[in-house]
Structures are given as structure tokens and as C-alpha cells.
Amino acid sequence: RIADTDYDQRSNVLRTAFPRFVGDAAQWTTNSYDWADRLVATVNPDASQRTYLHYLATATGTFNPWLFGVVLTDELGHQTETVTSTRGDTTAVVRDVVGMALTEYRNYDVLGRLIGVTDPGGSTWSYSYDMLGNRLSATDPDLGTWAYVYDAANRLVSQTDARGTVTNLSYDQMDRLTLKTATASGGSAVTLTQNTYDQASAGSYNIGQLTTSTNPAATQSYKYDGFGKVARQDATIGTLTHTIITSRDASGQPIATQYLPVQLDFGTAAAPLQYTAGNKLASASGFITSTLYEADGQTKEINYANGVKTAFTYSPTRRWVTRVTTSRGATILLDDQYARDNLGRITGTTGLTASDSWAYGYDNASRLTSSDNLGNNTLDETFVYAANDNLTSRSRVVGTYIYPAATAPRPHAPTSVGAKTLAYDANGNLTSDGSRTLTWDEANRLKTVSLASNTVNLTYGPDGARAKKASSFATTLYPDASVEIDPAIPGSEIYTRYPHPDIKVVGATKYFLHRDHLASVRMVTDSSGAIAEATSYATYGERLNSGFQTQKSYIGERFDPETGLLYLNARYMDPVLGRFISPDDWDPTKDGVGTNRYAYAQNDPVNKSDPNGHSLSPRDSDADAPTAQLGGGGNQTSPANGQNADSQRQASHAQESLTGTAKDKKKADGTYQVAEDGIDMPAGYVSPNSGLLAPGAAPICGGGCVPPGLEMGPGPYAQEMPGGFTNVPAEGPPTTQVPKGGTYSLRNSAGEVVRTGRTNDLARRAAEHARADATKGLTFTQEHLTDALKEQRGLEQMLHESYNPSMNKVSPISQRNPNLNSYMNAARDFLSRQLSGE
């Protein structure tokens, strides 16, 4: 296997080629850079390209060293303008949509902490911190205002949500969560999680590990192997205990998983799971005969033990999937071919029948605007959106979506859809929609859904994942994301396991799941290869076969026919409305989350998915984009700081459970990821050193804040920033000794900067230029006053990059200079001090 990367003489990546096998032609992606080594163009192997125009954001025509802009023009000519500070903080993003510019603003304090967000519709977020950087409050237009309390060790110990529900957290001496309770206003405390650590067990390595986690709904216990990974997991719900035992080889690779009771073995000691040289699953005896992979690691072909094969075809120049074919011998069972535009968006799907074939349209913000089923006109739809990504019209839903004003509570939650009236609680959770009545538990999770004469009750385990679904018709237990138990007949319970995403075993009977490009289950075959059941889906995941029995269906997640809702681990989505029924509580500025708290998959369910209920699936990310994707709802499954300390979920794709503790994330192997790592830090906790969300105080212009009168530069949206961004006068540090040195510029009669420089004596340098023939006709302007050499060098570099002066074209600091970062950081610190008045 070959992967190529070529560099230019300045060590920039000049071109790259996708990984390929020996003998295959290289497909090159080529980059171009400007004099400052900034990316200006990327040409794809199919000759499509995206370009980047860099500029300095200016205030009233004066040099502004705190803001830099870039205009991205994508492969279809759509433009996105991004303004960032020297800290790298995004302060404004403008998306070009025909007839409007969708602009999101962000505001930071002097420490670079986010203290405000304004979405394209004018709705605002605000955050406040204590002096140690702990978040004290978060005010969200959809979630309401939440408050946080910390102990002397800066650990979150209490959280109060907009409903008045108080969540309390306790820790041991190693800062590990031991108890989390929640008390609703006027109610009694409910245990959400109670954790025990380090319990000894023969043959296990449990020291330093979570060993038992319990709450009234379930108890989970863990034993660990020498790799520090879970070797045995027991989950007890009511009187039933389910066990999963994992064996590993000497390298730590899983070679066998055993499920008990009603034993199921996915790999055994005698017939272990087999892997490729790249550590990808190659075969599993009795389930998967063989798996082939492309050079870049994508699945090429998977052969199941029942004789059915699924093959994947990819674009040779862009590497996205163009065809998925499932067959048994010469018989084609499923065949979807995908036509895509230069952004990779699917414009058409050609299936085996007209009813399996679709045509799609999008706006410039990649929001789905039309879906046309070529065989069934009743499935045809058009979609209309507001600037803030609210869905305002969907043609298959009679009537329009009506929303509150941008400044009113819950501006992204529809209050009526056609003839339906919708109501919400103070946290933004749907409580009624004209046909269903819904209640929510103390941890802000859906608790009951009443429809007609049936009530569905939902409970959640100590890891936050759903543990039980019960109604007057049926009960299902979920001891693990890969297990379903039907306890209708005590002693003869029916166990359904998913040991692999494409395999379902009911009791001892094997079934095989066959999927489309979104991982939606389209067909199920039995052990003989015969079709057991099949379904298609409407645009937002409505199952078109109401008799489809497999719970895991659209995007591979569980649909609840009793409620009409899709369980996406963190939240529930209504496929009929095409929206979530509760707001996302993750940080709205993080990739794949967005400011519209109720939007599903950024309003593009054809190309994107939101399996964890918080953010887009990683496969939906645009790795080439120069900035975060903004707007839209829930990329990237790694959470950042959110609003809810109880944001504890289980993502079934990865079989990964989050504890929802204030500091730690429990990984799939039972170990914990410390929040300081910047990965999966649950909401409500901010490390005093993390520099993350800076809630609410009045905006103070610091590093990255936007002075009034900002000119957006040469992009297509030249405009001024809105009010509310206040500038703090730059007053020098209190000292009796005025610096003599600093940076300067020389301007011609037109006011253009033609030269920049630095000196340890500005007065002397001004006199020298006044005498020199080449410069005596130019105006000398003092830019910065400092005697510190590092600050001078970094500030001179900033001036040079900003003006690109004609008289000194060579960059003051070489990109290869090992002290470059040190100089630039010193300059940024100087500017921050100037802004804060230090």
C-alpha cells in the first residue's frame, strides 16, 4: 500500500495522493500557498477546486492586528467568510445563501473565553465565569438559564437547570465521581449514578478502575484485564443479569466475545476473530466469511456466512461511495447507485425499482430543499428554511411551522405545525403535540409518552443509556447497546444480540443486516440467505414498511413504533416532523452541533446523520473546511463543553457509554477519559485552565473581540459588525519609563503602507528615514511602542503580513525560524495587554 505526500521548498504540503495499492494510478490533490504560506487553493483529482482569499479585517480603514479573514469558495462556487482573532478564535462566520447572508457572531473576553453567541436569526447565548475559569451560568435561547456551583477544588458540585431541578455531585479523594443525584423543584432526590471503584476480584486488574455503577434502573459491574480494558461486564435490570465476556490476544485485540445467558459466541478460543494486517476485522467464524478493504481502509466487500455479499464502489478521484450492491450469487437483492455533485452531496439515487430511486436538491448552505421519489409521488417533498435554520415548511406536512420571535424563549422550537399545537417545558423539552403527552425525568431525559390509551415508560441506567422500555403491550430491556431482552415469559426470555453491526442473533437464530450509505438497515436476510424483511425510508427516516421488526433501522438506530420516535441515544427525533423533540445541550459552537438546537443533521438527512443525538457522525465531517460548520443541528461525535452536567449518553455505533460525570468520560472499555484531555468533557464542567466557554458577563473586547466599524474585507459580504462589540481603550502599563522602541510603518501620499519595520529607538529611526533619499517623502507612523525584542519581531511580522509592503517584500521572520511561534505569541500577549489596559 502506498500513500504519497510531497512538500514544497518551504515545507508546505504541495500535494497528496490517496492511499493506493501497488500498480494503481496516483490521484493527486494539489495545494497552492501565498507568500505567507497560507493555503490559497486546493485542486482535487477530478480538477474541481476550492479557493481561499485571505485578508486583514480592518476598523475604519486602520490596521487592526486582532482580526484575520478568509473567504472560502467551494467546488460549486459557494462562499463562506470567516473572521478569526490572532488566538484562532472564530468571531464571525458568514454563509452565502441566495437572497441572504447567514451570519453567526461570537464574542470573547480578554482571556479568550467565549461569552456570547448570536445566531443568524438574532438569538443570543451568554456565559459567565468565576475568576478561576469555572462556568457560573449559561443562558441559552432554547435551554433557558442554568447555574453551576463548584467546591474549593474547582469540582462541579451542583447544577440548577431552567426548571429548577438541582443536580448534586460528590467525589472521592481522587476526584472520581461517587454519587450524582437530582432533585426536581418540590420533589425528592433521585439517584442518577452511584459509582464504586477498585473492588478486588481474583484474576482481574481492577485497581484504579470503575467496578460498579448503579441506580434504581440498573446495576453495571466491570472486571478488567491486564490491558486495562473491560474483560467482563455484568448488567442487572430487575431480576435479570446479562453478561458479556471479552477475550483478547497478546496485542490486546479482541478475539472472542461471549454473551450469557443463552450463550452466544462471537469468536472462540478455537476459532478466534481474524484481522487484516491493518487490524481490521477480516472474518468471524459462522458469521463473516471474509472482508476486503480498499487501500484507504474503506470496506470493499463483505461476505456473510449465509452466502450474501455486499460490495461497495467508490469514486476513484474523491473516494466517496458511489454504489452499494447486496447480492446472493447472481441474484441482486439491493443495488443503490449514487450520483453526487462536486461537494459530494447526493443529487440522485438509482435503485432496483423506481420507488427506490430519488432526486435531491440543496441550497447554498447544503440544506435539503427537495426530494423527489421517482416511483411514488406521495413521498415527494420540498423544504423551506429561515436564516436561523428553522424548518418553516415541509410539503408532506400540511401547514407551516410557526416559531417564536428570535428574542423569545425557544426560538428554534415550533409552537405549531399545521393544525398541531406544540408545548414545551422551561428546558425546551416537548410536553405535548396535540396527540402525544410527554414527561421528562430529573436528568432531562424522556420519561413517558402517552398516546391514546397507551403509555410508554422509559428508564435509564447509571451510564445514561436507555435500560428499559415498557408499555401495556410489551417490555424491552437494554443491558447493553448491543442487546435487547424480551422478558415477557419469565425463564424463557428472548435475547436479541448484535455482536457486529451487520449481525442480529435472536436466541440462536442468525440474521444479517444490509444497509445503505447512511447505515440504515434496508434488508434482513436469514441464515439461508433468504430475505426475512425489508424496508425503505422517507426523507427523514419514516419507515415505509410498518411491519419491519428489527429495532435498529434508520441510520442503524432504534425506532420505537409505540411512540413514533427514533431513539438517538442522547435525544429522540420525530421523523414525521423532521426535528428533535428536545434541544441539544452541547456547545453550539462545536463542529457538527450548531446553534439550531432542534435541527436534525444540519437539515441534510440525505448525506448526514446524527446517531449520538448531539452532533454529526464523523463520516459526515468536511475535513477540508477551514472553519467550523455553523448553524443547523446536530460532526464529530466527540462532545465539548455543553450546558448539561447530565449529558450522559451511550452511542450504540461505537458501543460507547458516557458517565455524565463532571470531569470524566467512561470509555467503552470501562476506563475514564479525564476532561483535561479536551475530549468528551461533559457539560457543566470547565477546567480553570481549559479556556473553554466563558459564560455571560457583559461583553468586554479582548483578544478576538470585534471593535465597532469592522470592515469584513474583500469578501462578498462587506458589512459592519452589529452593535454590542465594545472596544476597551488601549492604555499602556503603569510605568514612568516610556519605551523608546517599537514598530513603525511608512506611508506614501495616498496613505498606502509601503514599508514596515522595527527599531529600539523610534525617534532616531524616524529622523533617519526623513534624511534618506528613498524614504524622505514618506510619512513615518509609530504602530506599537515596546522595547521587548520578541514583541517587536512578532509585531513587525504581523504588520508585514497585513500590508505586504512594496519596499520590503521579504518576510521579517522566516517560516523556518525556530523562534517564530515564540515571537508571535509575545506579540499576541502584547496586544492582549494593550486591549485590557494593563
- 831 has pLDDT over 90: no
- 173 has pLDDT over 60: yes
Residue 451 corresponds to which cell in the numbers above? 398516546
Percent of the chain with pLDDT over 70: 84
Residue 92 corresponds to which cell in the numbers above? 464571525
203: left (phi over 0), alpha (psi -120 to 50) or beta: left
Q: Which range, of 24-38, 62-76, 218-232, averages the lowest pLDDT?
A: 62-76
- 46 has pLDDT over 50: yes
Between 770 and 470, residue with greater pLDDT: 470
- 530 has pLDDT over 80: yes
Strands 274-275 and 135-140: unpaired
Instruction: Name every residue whose Cβ is closer than 8 Å to that of residue 810 and which is 6 or more positions away in sequence.
Output: none
Strands 281-283 and 288-293: unpaired
In the prediction, which pLDDT does 655 show? 26
- DSSP for residue 729: P
* Within a domain: 538: no
* Within a domain: 403: no
Between 607 and 764, residue with greater pLDDT: 607
In the prediction, which pLDDT does 531 show? 98
How confident is the prediction for the chain on average, in pLDDT? Answer: 85
In the prediction, which pLDDT does 62 show? 53
In the prediction, which pLDDT does 535 show? 98
Confidence of residue 678 (pLDDT cuts 50, 70, 90): very low
Give CA torsion, residues 635, 193, 125, 617, to 10 deg.
Answer: 10
- 213 has pLDDT over 90: yes
pLDDT digits (tens, 9 = 90+) for 743-785: 999 999 888 888 999 998 888 888 888 888 888 889 999 999 9
Q: Which range, of 314-318, 734-738, 742-746, 803-807, averages the lowest pLDDT?
A: 734-738
In the prediction, which pLDDT does 639 show? 24
* Within a domain: 743: yes
Average pLDDT of 248-263? 96
In the prediction, which pLDDT does 818 show? 76
Residue 616 corresponds to which cell in the numbers above? 454529526
Q: How many domains does the chain have?
A: 1
Confidence of residue 534 (pLDDT cuts 50, 70, 90): very high
pLDDT digits (tens, 9 = 90+) for 288-306: 999 999 999 999 999 999 9
CATH of the domain at 759: 3.40.1440.10
Confidence of residue 642 (pLDDT cuts 50, 70, 90): low
3 state SS of 341: coil
The 10 Å Cβ neighbour count of residue 236 is 16
User: 490491558: which residue's cell?
Assistant: 227
* Within a domain: 768: yes
- 558 has pLDDT over 70: yes
- 659 has pLDDT over 70: no
Between 375 and 765, residue with greater pLDDT: 375
* Within a domain: 784: yes
- 485 has pLDDT over 60: yes
- 447 has pLDDT over 50: yes
DSSP string covering 448-512, please?
A: EEEETTEEEEEEE-TTSSEEEEE-SS-EEEEEETTEEEE-SSTTSPEEEEEEETTEEEETTEEEE
Give the total residue count for the chain.
838
User: 507568500: which residue's cell?
Assistant: 35
Instruction: Note whether 568 and 609 are within 8 A (CB).
Output: no
- 739 has pLDDT over 90: no
Sign, CA dihedral 362-366-367-373, equals positive
- 551 has pLDDT over 90: yes
759 is in which domain, residue-wise? 730-836
In the prediction, which pLDDT does 667 show? 33
E-assigned strand segments in 225-273: 230-237, 240-248, 254-260, 264-266
* Within a domain: 770: yes
pLDDT digits (tens, 9 = 90+) for 323-335: 999 999 999 999 9
| 265 vs 272: CA distance, rounded Å | 10
In the prediction, which pLDDT does 290 show? 98
E-assigned strand segments in 249-354: 254-260, 264-266, 274-275, 281-283, 288-293, 299-304, 308-314, 321-328, 331-340, 346-350
In the prediction, which pLDDT does 724 show? 27
Angle subtended at Cα 44 by Cα 38 and Cα 50, rounded to the nearest 5 degrees: 50
* Within a domain: 741: yes
Average pLDDT of 616-636? 41
- 680 has pLDDT over 50: no
* Within a domain: 578: no
Instruction: Name every residue whose Cβ is closer than 8 Å to that of residue 360 and which is 6 or more positions away in sequence.
Output: 345, 346, 347, 348, 368, 370, 371, 372, 606
| 316 vs 314: CA distance, rounded Å | 6
Alpha carbon of residue 702 to chain centroid: 27
